[in-house]
């Protein structure tokens, strides 16, 4: 069970191909597997379907794979921060499937948990429900949504061990735990690779069974999209 790989290139070796579906964790630029995304960029894999809540910003995260035109389709809930995305979408180069954010999160959770479909109130009576089964339970209507899995899931964690146990930090957790469970192969980049046993079993967020490969990416550059401050208090 050798999960630790010493470089991003090794972590991605032998598993990428054109036309694959890739899940990429993060919310905005928070908790994105940035080093692994750059590894995908260098691999040259094309025609990718990428499942990610957002699409990065120009030059950062998935924005880099848009710039190289490696992405054919995005499944996301919000892509407002990316000019290149708008251009490629409007020119028809890029396909886009919008999911309500909670529906997207649950589709991924369901996929990882072996649940092929579920019913939700979200989106009933909207464009999202078109072409989908709608069924009444009690007094309300619910729309059927299907589970999602990926060929490869890329996640970012704060801490990990050789077993693949992961701990996320603050709001950088977001989509990472569900995506870790929904990848046929899941690769985790971790800021701190700690000895097995150093993480209290009670504090593990993602158990190692969901993680196939792990790579140490120390001191990553983290990006802030909206640096919003409180004025210093005047005494």
Give whichever of 31 and 164 is closer to other proteins, judged by the CB atom. 31
Give whichever of 1 and 235 is closer to other proteins, judged by the CB atom. 235
203: which DSSP letter? G
**Cβ count near 186 (within 10 Å):** 26
Question: Cα 34 to the chain's mean position, in Å?
Answer: 11
Q: Which stretch binds other proteins (CB under 8 A): 10-18, 159-167, 207-215, 218-226?
A: 218-226
Burial letters for 195-205: b for 16+ Cβ neighbours within 10 Å, e otherwise?
eeeebeeeebb
4: which DSSP letter? E
Residues 186-205 that bind other proteins (CB under 8 A): none
Residues 21-40 that bind other proteins (CB under 8 A): 27-31
| Residue of 53, 153, 165, 186 interacting with other proteins (CB under 8 A) | 53
CA atoms within a 13 Å half-sphere pointing along the CA-CB vector of 212: 17
Residue 150 interacts with other proteins (CB under 8 A): yes or no: no
- Reduce the DSSP state of residue 95 to 3 states and report it: strand
Q: How far apart are CA 78 and CA 126, in angstroms?
A: 17
Minimum distance of other proteins from residue 121's CB (angstroms): 4
| Residue of 89, 162, 185, 204 interacting with other proteins (CB under 8 A) | 89
Residue 78 interacts with other proteins (CB under 8 A): yes or no: yes
Note whether 78 and 53 are within 8 A (CB): yes
140-146 and 150-161 beta bridge pairing: unpaired
Q: Which stretch binds other proteins (CB under 8 A): 16-24, 77-85, 144-152, 194-202?
A: 77-85
Residue 210 interacts with other proteins (CB under 8 A): yes or no: no
Q: How far apart are CA 65 and CA 60, in angstroms?
A: 9
Give whichever of 100 and 151 is closer to other proteins, judged by the CB atom. 100
Residue 226 interacts with other proteins (CB under 8 A): yes or no: yes
What residues line the site for other proteins (CB under 8 A)?
Answer: 27-31, 53, 76-81, 86, 89-90, 98, 100-106, 108-109, 120-128, 158, 168-178, 222-230, 232
């Amino acid at each position: 069970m050798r999960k630790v790989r010493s470089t991003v290139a090794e972590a991605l070796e032998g598993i990428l191909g054109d036309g694959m579906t890739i899940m990429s964790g993060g919310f905005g630029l928070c908790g994105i597997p940035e080093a692994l995304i750059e590894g995908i960029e260098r691999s040259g894999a094309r025609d990718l379907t990428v499942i990610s809540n957002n699409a990065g910003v120009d030059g950062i995260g998935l924005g880099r794979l848009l710039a190289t035109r490696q992405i054919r389709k995005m499944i996301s809930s919000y892509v407002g921060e990316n000019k290149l995305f708008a251009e490629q979408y409007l020119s028809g180069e890029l396909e886009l499937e919008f999911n309500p954010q909670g529906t997207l999160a649950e589709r991924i959770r369901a996929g990882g948990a072996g649940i092929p479909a579920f019913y939700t109130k979200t989106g009933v009576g909207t464009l999202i429900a078109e072409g989908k089964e709608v069924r009444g339970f009690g007094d309300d209507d619910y729309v059927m949504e299907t589970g999602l899995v990926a060929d490869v899931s890329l996640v970012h964690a704060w801490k990990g061990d050789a077993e693949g146990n992961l701990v996320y930090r603050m709001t950088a957790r977001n989509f990472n735990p569900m995506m870790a469970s929904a990848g046929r192969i899941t690769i985790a980049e971790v800021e701190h690779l700690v000895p097995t046993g150093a993480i209290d079993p009670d504090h593990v967020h993602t158990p190692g069974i969901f993680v196939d490969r792990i790579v140490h990416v120390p001191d990553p550059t983290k990006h802030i999209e909206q640096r919003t401050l409180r004025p210093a208090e005047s005494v």
